[in-house]
Structure 1
Amino acid sequence: MKIFVFFLALSGLVGAVFGGNFYKDFDITWGDGRAKILDNGKLLTLSLDKSSGSGFRSKNQYLFGKIDLQIKLVPGNSAGTVTTYYLSSLGSTHDEIDFEFLGNLSAEPYILHTNVYAQGKGDKEQQFYLWFDPTKDFHTYSILWNPLSIIFSVDGTPIRQFKNLESKGVAYPKKQPMWIYSSLWDAEEWATRGGLVKTDWSQAPFTASYTNFNALACTTTASCSANSWFSQALDITGQQRIKWVQKNYMIYNYCTDSKRFPQGFPPECSLV
């Protein structure tokens, strides 16, 4: 009965395909000319200088979907900079699904920071190194969000899964449509080695580039449940790949940070 009611609640949604043109799919929201759409809408760049960063937001809100975006990160000495790509609703009880790329000194690896917010509460951080240089070429960063789980992937390799454990009392984002956001901004107070390494403004402007946005997603207008991604879960190969990534490239997991949670880990940590 609960499943039936849930699918009825989704009857106001329609599955659709978006992508191919940044003019059609996104609005530049800030940056005073530092964000640019180029190549007839096929390329978008964000820039950061000492005065300001820049950012954009999707024209549509989505409630569940498979979202892909190719990004080429700031090259060279990117210490102090943060490039973000995330889904978020609004308000104090917002939901959010985060990719954040924390810059570093030349020849030092970026840190990929992930987080999930449900009903305004986050504190679910996992961080990774990447197994390639994300500044040399475009790479695909994907979010699969459906009623079963949220799966973060890089170039088709899953790196993290956040399961729907509402039946165990763990909040899960499933009711609030979210926009897609991206930004490039200065976070030298904390981004690189806890703020020990500051932004070198002689290297500015810093630029991140975006292409090949694609979304198989539900917007707020008939049933989404017929789409294959709507019930997609990790298969055996996906489970093996996520274990490989987490064994070799995970550098922080909130579920193992006993100093942060001296009274005990969040419940989902023992349920996955």
Structure 2
Amino acid sequence: MEGSHMGLLLFFCSSMLFAAFAAASSRNLPIIPFDEGYAPLFGDSNLVIHRDGKSVHLSLDERTGSGFVSHDLYLHGYFSASIKLPSDYTAGVVVAFYMSNGDMFQNNHDEIDFEFLGNIRGKDWRIQTNVYGNGSTNIGREERYGLWFDPADDFHQYTIVWTDSQIIFYVDNVPIREVTRTESMGGDFPSKPMTLYATIWDASDWATNGGKYRVNYKYAPYVAEFSDLVLHGCAVDPIEQHVAKCDNAPQSSEATTTIPSSGVTPAQRIKMENFRKKHMTYSYCYDKVRYKVPPSECVISSQEAERLRRFDPVTFGSGRRHHGKRHRRSRGSQTEAAASF
């Protein structure tokens, strides 16, 4: 496929994604059966597909964690799941819903993460988002937040929207983070086809207070429930590395004229700003231990810096995420506090 045609297809695909979010808000995007979009990754009997074929349980016990993976690679798209997390004592447990191409690009992989960090009894789950581009794992772009609800009480929707210029993370259709591609980021912005993963695993070495609290298998099995699985994007041929399918892509550029230039509406932006003021407890932009100079895309706010300083995040050690035969080292900072919504 000629480069100009590829670029045009990707432009159509990115424009389609903004329309897709509007459709998703009204729950019009198709929820696909597990077998049509995914396959087991690891864990054997620790992965259980419900009779309806559209819900799946992932469990962690002393023997193993578990996970699943999308059949297709995608270059941009709308990826969503309703997730209910394990309850009670969950220290050291990590549930992840993320995109990666580490199996194909081991030295220069891309990644877009939702990671849910378990906690000791009486403390809330924390949610972490992260973005890696072109293998820049030394420049992790982690942010960490509390939530305005208990994610173990019921299902909540977690969504990644990825285009050639933006990455937006949503919780229950509330945007919590927007990453806009800048020229200075260069290849640090994810730009290669990725696969979607969901996993539960033992991250005792780092997940809870820097590894102070480990997984206690007295409370196993730890079960994470997934439903309402949405895969809506531009599927890529893994061999030819060209776009093989772009779901509902406009057929001409005229169809894109009514698409807004941003995936976040003014009303949603207000919600996002309120969420971040009340619930964000860590941002890589303010981590002076890791970055003597903030990464180029960071916009430093003295008010935000002062608020985050109260949480006194500490850098936690390395852990391992299971990707079948591959393991990825995870870095970041840890905090215990979370503000109420």
Whether the TM-score (by the shorter chain) exceeds 0.5 is yes
**Structure-2 change in CA distance of 1:230 and 1:146 (3 Å):** farther
- Displacement of 1:146 in angstroms is 1.0
Which whole-Å deviations, capped at 9, do the CAs of 1:41-89 have from their partners, x for residues lacking one?
Answer: 1210001111110110001111111111100001111111000000111
C-alpha distance in 2, partners of 1:164/1:93? 18
Q: Find 1:108's aligned residue among 123, 128, 135.
A: 123
Residue 112 (structure 2) pairs with residue 97 (structure 1): yes
Residue range with higher mean Cα deviation, 201-210 or 60-69: 60-69
Shift in alpha-carbon separation, 1:71–1:255, aligned structure 2, 3 A: same
User: Per the alignment, in what secondary structure is the counterpart of residue 234 of structure 1?
Assistant: coil
For the 8 Å contact 1:128–1:250, the answer to whether it is kept is yes
Equivalenced residue count is 268
Paired residue for 1:72? 84
Structure 1 stretch displaced more, 123-132 or 61-70: 61-70
What is the match of residue 96 of structure 2?
84
Residue 237 of structure 1 and its aligned partner are, at CA, apart by 1.5
How far off is 1:11 after superposition?
8.0
CA distance in 2, matches of 1:174, 1:187: 25
C-alpha contact (below 8 Å) 2:43/2:65 kept by paired residues = yes
CA 1:12–1:61: 2 relative to 1, 3 Å: farther
1:155 to 163, 168, 172: 172
1:42 aligns with 2:42: no
Matched residue, 1:128: 145
CA distance in 2: counterparts of 1:152 and 1:13, whole angstroms: 18
CA RMSD of aligned residues (A): 2.7
Equivalent residue in structure 2 for 1:269, among 283, 286, 298: 298
Matches within 5 A, 1:201-220: 201-220=217-236
Letter in 2 for 1:151: I
CA distance in 1, matches of 2:261, 2:11: 16
Please state whether the residue corresponding to 2:45 is helix, strand or coil.
coil
Q: Deviation at 1:222?
A: 6.3
Q: Does the CA-based 8 Å contact 2:169-2:177 persist in structure 1? A: yes
- Runs of 4 or more above 2 Å deviation: 4-20, 167-175, 222-233
Taking a change above 3 Å as real, the CA distance of residues 230 and 21 of structure 1, as seen in their structure-2 partners, is: farther
Q: 1:139-184 CA distances to partner (integer Å, 9 max, x unpaired)?
A: 000011112210001001111111011x234435454111100110
> Residues 238 and 155 from structure 1, CA distance in 2 versus in 1: closer, same or farther, beyond 3 angstroms?
same
Whole-angstrom CA distance in 1 between matches of 2:153 and 2:47:
20
Name the SS for the 1:244 alignment partner.
helix
Partner letter of residue 268 of structure 1?
A: E
Residue 209 of structure 2 corresponds to 193
1:40 partner amino acid: D
The aligned counterpart of 1:7 is 7
Preserved contact between residue 134 and residue 190 of structure 2 (Cα < 8 Å): no
Percent of aligned pairs with the same amino acid: 34
- Give the letter aligned to residue 10 of structure 1: L
* Counterpart check, 1:168 vs 2:184: yes
Matched, 1:137 2:167: no
Structure 1 segments unaligned to the other structure (5+ residues):
none
1:19 partner SS: coil
Once the two structures are TM-superposed, the CA of residue 107 in structure 1 deviates from its matched residue by: 2.5
In the alignment, the residues of structure 2 paired with residue 8 and residue 109 of structure 1 have an alpha-carbon distance, to the nearest angstrom, of 45
Contact 1:19–1:25 (8 Å) recurs in 2: no
